Structure 1
């Protein structure tokens, strides 16, 4: 079984603000998150809640932290947003993406166009226990998360808002064998299940290969089509994604349904 491992690269001494080339203006505060594509720092611009927590995305107690949940309390519609400051490596980019469920999140790519990380909504619950949708905006290296529908009388304050920041879409990837062939397995993280916009599919494939390491060659076109099917069909809630080498080679659109569940042969 091949389990994902990666070495933590040493970041450059200065984290550069997008569009600014002077190391003297770099942001040095915040929590550093590390993943296969590099590392970045994130910090809340206001005083964080005491229950903001660092999480490890299935990497083991000795691994660098790759995930954090940042929480805040919104007391009224006039203060319906929270901002987070980023310290990004040089040439990294931040952009808002929208998935098929119309959920917005922020995608971070490193200078090579690989996954650096992302920021997505966590639990956002009002005082009545109702879910409140949020949106994101990017202004340089400041990310703002804003409550939606605040003009509706149905929103009960205070609203407990949280954001998930992470560096991985998959916490582990490995290959197992079967009498019929081999199986490529990938365990998606919460961020990986959320950031499934159409223009991210190729990044998912590249991220899977980086996690598989020396087993990346196993991801041929057939495996890739099954994998993209799982990515797109996150609503199937299949847990670990299993891509089987003996499956017929079909476009992912033909197997993304409740009966095939991305694997035609059962």
Structure 2
């Protein structure tokens, strides 16, 4: 069988492109609930609202997720959608890509640790659902108690921390879980990961991995971490990480002309796997 690895460029959703009209869901104040189920190797911090929206950050058998249920249903056939999360004193929402769940009103973050760190700030929380088919966007506005302890426990259970030890400023993070690289960089030398060996005699036909790495001045990707992968349990993230030592990136022409520095930037990118006969 031939293995096809796709590194496709995705489009970023611009917050300023949302329509002026929006459906507003009135503020509500809630606190997080922490749950531990040791026999399932699971811990979860969750909060629910009378609007029907529920947000959960969880570590389940070593896999970290942030999921939202009760959203307006994703369009038919859509595998991903973009959602905005705005917390505390943030002036703009962080728009990122989420994978649509089996239920069309559920979505899983492709950068769950980054989202969880925002959620832990508490205070005013906004969840923004971009418009579909030209209709108005939906914006949920809620007050959530600061919950650094509850969310920190879920992160710790999966070997992550509330503060990124790489100490990257928000304005030096490029990418939101979109396919391929963010538009500030491009591949100079592409990674060539191998499709990992089967697990229990099974292999996925397709999947994706989202990683975050810190670039150095020569375009090397260092301090890499897998942020999410689907399907879980097949070591897709490890396969990509092993291939990154020879990969190199460079600034896009637009980023270079804007005077951006490559060294020290965190690059969040997606690698798609697809096995073809």
The TM-score by the shorter chain falls in which range? Answer: under 0.3
Instruction: State the TM-score, normalized to the length of structure 1.
Output: 0.27
What TM-score do you get using the length of structure 2 for normalisation?
0.26
Return the structure number with greater relative CO, CA threshold 8 A, min gap 6.
Answer: 2
Structure with the larger strand share:
2
